[in-house]
Amino acid sequence: MMGYANAEQIASGIHFRLRARSFIVAEPQGKRVVFVNLDACMASQLVTIKVIERLKARYGELYTEQNVAISGIHTHAGPGGYLQYVVYLVTSLGFVRQSFDVLVDGIEKSIIQAHENLRPGSIFVNKGELLDASVNRSPSAYLNNPASERRKHKYDVDKEMTLLKFVDDQWGPVGSFNWFATHGTSMSRTNSLISGDNKGAAARFMEDWFEKNGIKSSDTNESGSDGLPRRVSNIIPNIHDDNNKLLELATSFRSSPGSPATQTMSVARCVRGALKQAEKPGFVSAFCQTNCGDVSPNVLGAFCTDTDLPCDFNHSTCGGKNELCYGRGPGYPDEFESTRIIGERQFRKAVDLFEKASEQLKGEVDYRHTYIDFSQLEVTLTKVGGGSEVVKTCPAAMGFAFAAGTTDGPGAFDFKQGDDQGNPFWRLVRDVLKTPDKKQVDCQHPKPILLDTGEMKQPYDWAPSVLPIQILRIGQFVILSVPGEFTTMSGRRLRNAVKTVLTRSGNGEFGSNTHVVIAGLTNTYSQYVATLEEYQVQRYEGASTLYGPHTLSAYIQEFQKLATALIKGQPVEAGMPPPDLLQKQISLLTQVIMDSTPAGKNFGDVSSDVPANSTFKRGSTVTVVFWSSCPRNDLLTEGTFALVEMLQGKDTWTPMYDDDDFCLRFKWSRPSKLSPQSKATIEWIIPSSSSPGVYRIRHFGASKGLMGSIRHFTGSSSAFVVACEN
Question: Which residues in the chain show pLDDT less than 70?
Answer: 215-241, 274-278, 725-726
The domain spans of the chain are: 13-212+278-377+458-584, 591-722
Which 3-state string (H, E, C) describes 539-562?
Answer: CHHHHCECCCCCHHHHHHHHHHHH
Q: What are the two backbone dihedrals, phi and then psi, of residue 441, each rounded to the nearest 5 degrees?
A: -60, -45
At a CB cut-off of 8 Å and minimum separation 6, what does 526 contact?
374, 396, 463, 464, 467, 483, 484, 546, 547
Do residues 200 and 193 touch, judged by C-beta distance below 8 A? no
The enclosing H or E element of 634 equals: none
DSSP per residue over 32-63, as a string? EEEEEEESSSS--HHHHHHHHHHHHHHHTTSS
The enclosing H or E element of 378 equals: strand 378-382
Superfamily in which the 591-722 domain is placed by CATH: Neutral/alkaline non-lysosomal ceramidase, C-terminal domain (2.60.40.2300)
d(CA 470, CA 52) in angstroms, rounded, equals 15
Do residues 487 and 599 touch, judged by C-beta distance below 8 A? no
The answer for 569, left when phi > 0, alpha when psi is -120 to 50, beta otherwise, is left
Do residues 334 and 308 touch, judged by C-beta distance below 8 A? no
Quick check: helix, strand or coil at residue 68? strand
The enclosing H or E element of 329 equals: none
Note the pLDDT of residue 224: 44
- Is 515 a known ligand-binding residue? no
d(CA 698, CA 374) in angstroms, rounded, equals 52
Tally of CB atoms within 10 A around 501 = 18
Note the pLDDT of residue 276: 60
**Which residue numbers are catalytic?**
296
- Is 485 a known ligand-binding residue? yes
The answer for 418, left when phi > 0, alpha when psi is -120 to 50, beta otherwise, is left
d(CA 453, CA 464) in angstroms, rounded, equals 9
What digits encode the pLDDT tens for the residues 3-25?
999 999 999 999 999 999 999 99
Do residues 725 and 618 touch, judged by C-beta distance below 8 A? yes
- Is 15 a known ligand-binding residue? no
Quick check: helix, strand or coil at residue 247? helix
- Note the pTM of the prediction, 2 decimals: 0.95
Task: Give 84's DSSP letter.
Answer: S
